[in-house]
Every structure is written in C-alpha cells, then in structure tokens.
Amino acid sequence: MDHILLSAAIGYFLGSIPFGYLLVRIFHGEDIRQTGSRNIGATNVSRTSLALGIITLLFDASKGLGAVLLARFLFPGNTTAAGAAALFAVVGHIFPVWLKFRGGKGVATGLGSFILLTPKPVVICIAIFLALVALFRYVSLASMTAVALLPILIFMLHARQPEIALVALLAAALILIQHRGNMGR
C-alpha cells in the first residue's frame, strides 16, 4: 500500500508543476489563466505563443512520463504503482496546489503518463487525434475523442492489465469532465 501512496504523491507533485503558467509568466509577463480558455494547458498557451505552446505540450507530457518512470524505478514490475503515478500526474495537472487547484485539462500529461504504460493504444489515439484535427480543425473534439477511446483500446489490447485500463478510465473521466465546456459548445 505504501508503494501506491508514494507513487501517487510523486505523480501528483510532478503533475502539479504548472509549466504553461510559468512559461507565459516568464516570457510574456502575463497570467495565462486570464486569456482564452483560462487554463494552463498547451492549447491555451499556444494562443499566446505557438512556440511556448509546443514547449508546454512537451513539458506537460514529460511530467506524466517522469512520474511513471520514477514509479517504475522505485517499484520495478509493479504496474499498480506505475498506474497510480500516471493517474495522479493527471490529477496534479488538473488540480495543482500551487495555483489554487486551477490547472489544465490533463491531455498532454495523460499522453506522457500512458505512453510508457500502453504504447500501442496511445499511438493509435495519437493517430486518431491527428486525423480529427486535420478533418475538423477542433483540438478539443480530437482530444476528447482520443481520450475517450484510450481506455477501450487499452482493454482490447492489454486485457491482462485491467488495473491500467481502470486507471485510464478514471483519467479519461477526469479529462472529459474538464472538457465539459467544450462539449456544450
């Protein structure tokens, strides 16, 4: 049980690093939460600066990747610990303690978290995301579709790891809840 709690704590604190907020504050002297969708994620940051948006995407994905890598290093072979790190990296990004629990939507952090845990389903979701962005030009629609499909693909392709499919389902639910405004539009 301690390994799960430690992995969750590592995931949360890595996930809570508000890279989008910090980059826009440092390079533009602005609070990204006052513009666009009012969150700290890569899509909103790219409205201020495409370069900073790309950097935010990479850094946010690296938070999830780092959390899972660290959990795997500390607890080799323990998929539950790695899954806890992945889920809580997403939770940390969405609800960062440093910004009064007002963060991003969790897509990039989820991408980084799950690419190590389930690479094939994530690559399929990336392809779906890119195709939908190319067809419809709506990043939020593409994100929501890919996120919703990830747990299904994990279950289909990794049925022997139901704990990872469950973690992906919980992360997807959180991310989709964060996109509820986009769903309304």
Query: For 120-137, how does the pLDDT look when each residue is reduced to its tens digit (9 = 90+)?
Result: 999 999 999 999 999 998
pLDDT at 31 over 80: yes
**Spatial contact of 172 and 148, defined as CB atoms under 8 Å apart:** yes
Residue 94: closest CA among 7, 176, 9, 1: 176
Using CA atoms, how far apart are residues 123 and 112, in angstroms rounded to an integer? 11
Residue 6: closest CA among 94, 75, 106, 54: 75
Please state whether the predicted TM-score (pTM) of the whole model is above 0.85.
yes
Using CA atoms, how far apart are residues 135 and 123, in angstroms rounded to an integer? 18
Using CA atoms, how far apart are residues 94 and 116, in angstroms rounded to an integer? 20
Give the model confidence (pLDDT) of 144-169 as tens digits: 999 999 999 999 987 788 889 999 99
**Spatial contact of 114 and 146, defined as CB atoms under 8 Å apart:** no
Using CA atoms, how far apart are residues 130 and 145, in angstroms rounded to an integer? 11
pLDDT of residue 185: 59
Residue 75 DSSP SS3: coil
Using CA atoms, how far apart are residues 183 and 185, in angstroms rounded to an integer? 5
